[in-house]
Amino acid sequence: MKKKVLSVLLATTVVASLLAGCGSSAAAPAADAAPAADAAPAADAAAPAASSGGATYALVTKSAGNPFMERMASGFQEAVEASGGTVVIQNPEAATPDAQISVVQSLISQGVSSIAVDGNDANALTAVLTEASNAGIKVLSLDSDVAPDTRAVYCNQAGVQQIGETLMEAVYDLTGGEGDWAILSATSQATNQNAWIDAMKKLMESDSKYAKLNLVEVAYGDDEPQKSTDQTQALLQNYPDLKVICAPTTVGIAAAAKVLQDQKSSVKLTGLGLPSEMAEYIGDDDAHSCPYMYLWNPIDLGRLAGYTSIALVDGSITGAAGDKFTAGELGDYTIEEIDGSTQIILGPPFKFDPSNIDEWKSVY
Amino acid sequence: MAGKSGREISAEVKGGIRSKILSWEGALILILVAVNILGVVISPNYNVSNVLREMPRYLAEIFMMFGMGYILVLGDIDISVGALVCLAGTVTVLSSNAGLPFGLAVVVCLLVGLLGGMLNGFIATRFTELPTMIVTLGTQIIFRGIAEVLFETWGNGGGTASMTDTKGLMLLAQKIGPFPIAFFCVIIVGIIMITVLAKTTFGRKLYAIGSNKTAAYYAGIKVEKMRFICYSLLGMLAGLCALFLLTATFGSNTTTGQGFEMEVIAMCVFGGIATTGGKGNLIGGFIAAFIIVCLRIALGQRNINTQVILVIIGLMLIISVLVPSISNSIAARKKRSAA
Amino acid sequence: MKKRSIGQFLSESREASLVIVLAVLLIVVGIINPSFLSFTNIRQIFLNNTLTFLMALGMLCVMLTAGIDISITSTLAFAGMSIGLLQKYNVIHNTFLLFVIGAGIGIICGFLNGIIIAKGHVAPIICTMGFMYIWRGMAYVISNNNWASGMDVAGFSDFGKDGAVGPYIILIVAYAAFFILMKWTRFGRRIYAVGSNTEAARVSGINVDRTLTGVYTIMGLLAGLAGVLSVSIYASAQPNMQYGKEMDVIAACVIGGVAMSGGRGSVAGTFLGALIIGIISKALPMVNIPNFWQNLIKGVIILAVVILNVVTQRTMDRQNLLRREM
């Protein structure tokens, strides 16, 4: 019987030794060497000693396994490390607020100086972020906002209104000013997508320019390739007169682009997508499904959040409207008051078309 | 102690089973100590107050572990509980926002859980040929589906809702000393559930059903009634889990409770409860739950990639069921060669 | 008299009752939206659900031995992610070689499951749950938060593109092979024997451990292939791909009449079960049901069909009993 206890202890030791190897020793059979080697330094980078003197700046992304988040994190890391701070980047195990709560709790324990969070839900993080503020941690949000009174400032990639107008204008242009169009969104609770779609709907009501456009359906692909594919095909079959699909989500737009291109459909696509994901599908001719699309630079967004974190921690800004600061090579920014909350706006969305896609597809 | 190795164990003398079960719990306590030592070694911030502060979100899951333990002892399984947590939380938030006082909202939360559990129990006992995994797979999709419909038709749309009046939840989120209220609730529920399973005829009957359903039936045990009670109980505990989860999130959305069912089952199995039924006890599950929670907190504070933590938990799960089985077969071989 | 014979026909064959469920589904959906019955659409049902169709075959074998495998979509993600990255970093671009590698990874994952379940006497759900966490986590770790995107898998994705024949051929070959395997080979009979009565199978000289290991290895092989196909069909590899879809595969088998207690089930039934699952997910967006009702309806249909299965089985048993008494 003692032997068994011993063997269990042995098992524990195995587990413990795994921690030291940080998983790379468990790299499974046939895992090719190149990416595994890439993974190891990243894991190390994400685990710096919290006790190395200077301030520690934390970034909590939406979830692991998302290239947009990865680029954002790299920009954040770059900005903070350039000014000598320590970076902690945490990717929650799933894109849920529950997972983010655990991660933020852990960061509070570590006593970091600031937490920049990309919220999976607007309100679910309220309690834990308030706790962080009470512990003296500066809280800011980026990409997807959280409840305004729980954070100092929100680094917005572009104003909601601005994105709505840009996308609406693209739809107007691609349809030729009249006809059926549809939206393929992410999940039904995605805060950003819902805000943009609302902005577009309001524009259609208020501006007579868009009177001849007919939004037939808002479909949800849940950011799953398979479901997005099913939904796109259903849109094509249900609305034979459809002219344009607008997909303001990176997973959805790639899935829709593939469906349209494979079927050689005459329906055109626009929206928000990553250039590296969409390079295959962007082109002016009929062989390509997406003439152009938009996005902001996730690296710059991460950088902006990094500089904002530093400014919040060293006290040069408090997050009040009118505060000005310099965000390194990005230039000067002023905190604005928009819809009753304080925001920093990165800039207008960037247009990707056949002329510049080749240069951007390897960047992000 | 888990899996089919149970058969080999039961072939041995009675005293053997007892002492072995005891030793598994002993081993679990040792692992718990080891994990805590590990935590202190790898993270400078791993101390009592931080661990207790990080714990509430995980504590909510432990409520369901007790109920799941009963179901597993029966030889059944329930994979709908994560979705049921979502449904109960959603109904609570929406009804509270519609003006229901907090006290009643708590009752509604538990009631929704209970009703969900009863639905599982009803289908599982009425159509006994159906594997419970499939029944609860169906209800899993249905529960989350109902929650989605509610968000759209009753809430403000958009698949998420947060409670406007959080006073009651704040009260529940309070701490007594360093200990959150949820901690005491887990201990109290735990003591009741452990005692009922280990010391009462009700508990014994569950083991009898799990070991041999037909034999239990002919021994006069009302098998289907017992199963129905256990499903209802687990449902209510899912409601309790939803309630304490709300104290951390103040709201609910369509992803609430995703994957909880597997985490809860993992806690039970790591604690020595066999999915084949009739084996193990809740003390093991209780300790195992804390092992997993402490390990997650410790590794989290070291900023280990969250996915690597899942890999480690997966490995622990397999090792924890393999080790007893291997050492059993070694013992059996030794005995054979000695004889 | 006529009425009775229809009832008899219905209750005598489980597949027949599935065919009727299928027909009802198709007619209802076809009336609401006639374009559902178009050739393109039906072709897409198979293409979009290739993975479910393929993995359901492996799940059939696993469930025939009274086992279950919930690690399949994690294996799928790990294999898919691996071959996606091989292309992203320009290591290999040969389609055939990529299939071999993906299948190889799947076989290794499946073999590990099999050996632990057979030799270690670990309950299948626990062992595969462990690997569910492990392979999914490994997919994330090797991906290093990147996807392999349309650009990276450009040539390779032609294989599974809408309009290409590759996926259909794989499906036809797999179903034909399994039909033969389960019906006419010794290995197939052994699977049924082990599932019906393990002890009897052991006594009659069947190597139970080897059969179990073989079954899980086959499952792994199919999951690995599904991973490669997934990358090809959706032209992207993401670490979270097909998350949670193992339940669709299990549901497909159960709807198709495969008993989770082992020993009962057929390739034809599995095919029909997977087809029903495929039609549900394809039809829901096309019949103008509001988005947020879709999950609820899907769940109700699945539960209704499996309960219908039980009712059919009961009538069947009762009639058999009656016949015996006569």
Domains assigned to chain A: 41-157+298-347 (3.40.50.2300), 160-295 (3.40.50.2300)
Q: Looking at residue C225, what is its pLDDT? A: 95
How many C-beta neighbours within 10 Å does residue A186 have?
Answer: 22
Q: Where are the alpha helices (DSSP H) in chain A?
A: 2-21, 33-45, 67-82, 97-110, 126-134, 160-175, 191-206, 225-238, 250-262, 275-278, 298-313, 357-360
Q: Looking at residue C13, what is its pLDDT? A: 67
What is the rounded CA–CA span in Å between residue A11 and residue A14? 5
Tokens (6 digits) for A347:
């800039």
Host H or E run for residue A341: strand A341-345
Between B and C, how many CB-CB pairs are < 8 A?
A: 146
Host H or E run for residue B325: helix B306-338
Q: Which residues of A touch B158 (CB under 8 A)?
A: 188-189, 194
Is any Cβ of chain A less than 8 angstroms from the Cβ of C145?
Answer: yes
Q: Looking at residue A188, what is its pLDDT? A: 76
Distance from the C244 Cα atom to the nearest Cα atom in chain A, whole angstroms: 11
Q: Of residues A309 and A20, which shows the higher confidence score?
A: A309
Classified as helix, coil or strand, A271 is strand
Lowest mean pLDDT among A315-324, C78-87, C190-199: A315-324
Find the mean pLDDT for residues C136-153.
87
Contact B295, B37 (CB under 8 A): no
Question: Could you tell me which residues come within 8 angstroms of residue A263 by beta carbon, excluding any fewer than 6 positions away?
Answer: A236, C162, C163
CB contact under 8 A, C48 and A219: no
As a whole number of Å, the end-to-end CA separation of chain A is 57
What is the rounded CA–CA span in Å between residue C207 and residue C190? 9
Q: Looking at residue A222, what is its pLDDT? A: 82
Strand A324-326 relative to strand A332-334: parallel, antiparallel, unpaired?
A: antiparallel
Q: Which residues of B touch C313 (CB under 8 A)?
A: 129
Find the mean pLDDT for residues B13-32.
68
- Assigned CATH topology for domain B5-329: ABC transporter involved in vitamin B12 uptake, BtuC (1.10.3470)
Classified as helix, coil or strand, B155 is coil
What is the rounded CA–CA span in Å between residue A55 and residue A51? 9
Q: Provide the residue ranges of all domains of chain B, joining segments of one domain with +.
A: 5-329
Q: What does the DSSP 8-state code read for residue C162?
A: B
CB contact under 8 A, A8 and B162: no
Contact map slice: B 289-318 vs A, CB within 8 A:
296-297, 299-312, 315-316
CB contact under 8 A, C242 and A258: no
Strand A341-345 relative to strand A336-338: parallel, antiparallel, unpaired?
A: antiparallel
Q: Is the pLDDT of residue C211 over 90?
A: yes
CB contact under 8 A, A27 and C142: yes
DSSP secondary structure string, A161-195? HHHHHHHHHHHHHHHTS-EEEEEEES-TT-HHHHH
Contact A123, A147 (CB under 8 A): yes
Q: Is the pLDDT of residue A87 over 60?
A: yes
CB burial class (10 A; 0-12, 13-18, 19+) of residue A362?
exposed
Q: Is the pLDDT of residue C242 over 90?
A: no
Contact C322, C8 (CB under 8 A): no
Q: Quickly tell me which residue has 């349209």 as its tokens.
A: A260
Mean predicted lDDT score pLDDT of chain B: 86
Instruction: Round the CA-based radius of gyration of chain B to a whole number and report it.
Output: 21
Is any Cβ of chain A less than 8 angstroms from the Cβ of B107?
Answer: no
Q: Quickly tell me which residue has 């021994």 as its tokens.
A: B219
- Closest to B90 in 3D by CA, of B242, B264, B261: B242
Is any Cβ of chain B less than 8 angstroms from the Cβ of A126?
Answer: yes
pLDDT in tens, A134-145: 999 999 998 888
What is the distance, to the nearest Å, from the Cα of residue C105 to the centroid of all Cα atoms in its chain? Answer: 18
How many C-beta neighbours within 10 Å does residue B311 have?
Answer: 23
Is any Cβ of chain A less than 8 angstroms from the Cβ of B52?
Answer: no
Contact A185, A248 (CB under 8 A): yes
Contact A26, A84 (CB under 8 A): no
Nearest 5°: the CA angle A90, B90, C307 is 105
Contact B180, C323 (CB under 8 A): no
CB contact under 8 A, C145 and A69: yes
Question: Could you tell me which residues come within 8 angstroms of residue C322 by beta carbon, excluding any fewer than 6 positions away?
Answer: none
CB contact under 8 A, A26 and C144: no
pLDDT in tens, B130-157: 889 899 999 999 999 999 899 888 877 6
Q: Quickly tell me which residue has 């490994």 as its tokens.
A: C138
Find the mean pLDDT for residues C23-43.
88
CB contact under 8 A, C149 and A277: yes
Contact B27, A5 (CB under 8 A): yes
Q: Looking at residue A42, what is its pLDDT? A: 38
Find the mean pLDDT for residues A218-247.
87
In this prediction, residue C82 has a pLDDT band, given cuts at 50, 70 and 90, of very high
Neighbours of chain B (3+ CB pairs under 8 A): A, C
Q: Looking at residue A181, what is its pLDDT? A: 92
Q: Which CATH class is domain C16-315?
A: mainly alpha
Sign of CA dihedral C66, C71, C73, C78: negative
Question: Could you tell me which residues come within 8 angstroms of residue C104 by beta carbon, excluding any fewer than 6 positions away?
Answer: A30, C224
Q: Which residues of C touch A238 (CB under 8 A)?
A: 33, 35, 285-286, 288
Host H or E run for residue B321: helix B306-338
- Closest to A101 in 3D by CA, of B159, B82, B57: B57
Q: Which residues of A touch B259 (CB under 8 A)?
A: 94
Could you tell me what percent of chain C has a pLDDT over 90?
Answer: 46
Q: Looking at residue C320, what is its pLDDT? A: 81
Nearest CA in chain C to B120: C303
pLDDT in tens, A325-360: 888 888 888 888 887 788 888 888 888 888 888 888
Main-chain dihedrals φ then ψ at residue A350, nearest 5 degrees: -100, 140
Lowest mean pLDDT among A41-45, A62-66, A310-314: A41-45
- Closest to A333 in 3D by CA, of A125, A146, A142: A142
CA count, 13 A, side-chain hemisphere, A118: 29
**Buried-exposed string A254-275: b where 16+ CB fall within 10 A, e elsewhere:** bbbbbbbbbbebebbbbbbbbb
The partner residues of A114 in beta bridges, in order of sequence, read A57, A138
pLDDT in tens, B207-217: 999 999 899 99
CB contact under 8 A, A277 and C141: no
Q: Looking at residue B14, what is its pLDDT? A: 47
Q: Where are the alpha helices (DSSP H) in B43-180?
A: 48-54, 56-73, 81-97, 102-126, 132-153, 167-172
What is the rounded CA–CA span in Å between residue B23 and residue B324? 11
Find the mean pLDDT for residues B18-43.
81
Q: Where are the alpha helices (DSSP H) in chain C?
A: 2-12, 14-32, 39-48, 50-64, 72-88, 95-119, 124-143, 166-184, 186-196, 198-203, 208-234, 246-255, 267-283, 294-325
Is any Cβ of chain B less than 8 angstroms from the Cβ of A46?
Answer: yes
Pick from B119, B142, B319 the residue to mutate for testing the C interface (most C CBs within 10 Å).
Answer: B142
pLDDT in tens, A193-230: 888 998 999 988 888 888 888 889 888 888 888 888 88
Q: What does the DSSP 8-state code read for residue C157?
A: G
How many C-beta neighbours within 10 Å does residue A348 have?
Answer: 15
pLDDT in tens, A256-285: 998 898 888 889 999 998 888 888 888 888
Is any Cβ of chain C less than 8 angstroms from the Cβ of A220?
Answer: yes
CB contact under 8 A, B258 and A51: no
pLDDT in tens, C279-303: 988 888 888 787 788 889 999 998 9
pLDDT in tens, C158-167: 888 877 888 9
Find the mean pLDDT for residues A153-159.
86
Of A70, A230, A255, the CB nearest to C146: A70
Is any Cβ of chain C less than 8 angstroms from the Cβ of A269?
Answer: no
Of C44, C135, C150, the CB nearest to A254: C150
CB contact under 8 A, B310 and C123: no
CB burial class (10 A; 0-12, 13-18, 19+) of residue B304?
buried
Find the mean pLDDT for residues A51-70.
81
- Closest to B325 in 3D by CA, of C69, C215, C127, C205: C127
Mean predicted lDDT score pLDDT of chain A: 81
Q: Is the pLDDT of residue A52 over 60?
A: no
Neighbours of chain C (3+ CB pairs under 8 A): A, B
Is any Cβ of chain B less than 8 angstroms from the Cβ of A127?
Answer: yes
In this prediction, residue C68 has a pLDDT band, given cuts at 50, 70 and 90, of very high
Host H or E run for residue B179: strand B179-180
Question: Dihedral (C-alpha) B249, B251, B252, B253: value to the nearest 10 degrees?
Answer: -90
Classified as helix, coil or strand, A114 is strand
Classified as helix, coil or strand, A147 is coil
Q: Looking at residue A160, what is its pLDDT? A: 84
Contact map slice: A 193-222 vs B, CB within 8 A:
194
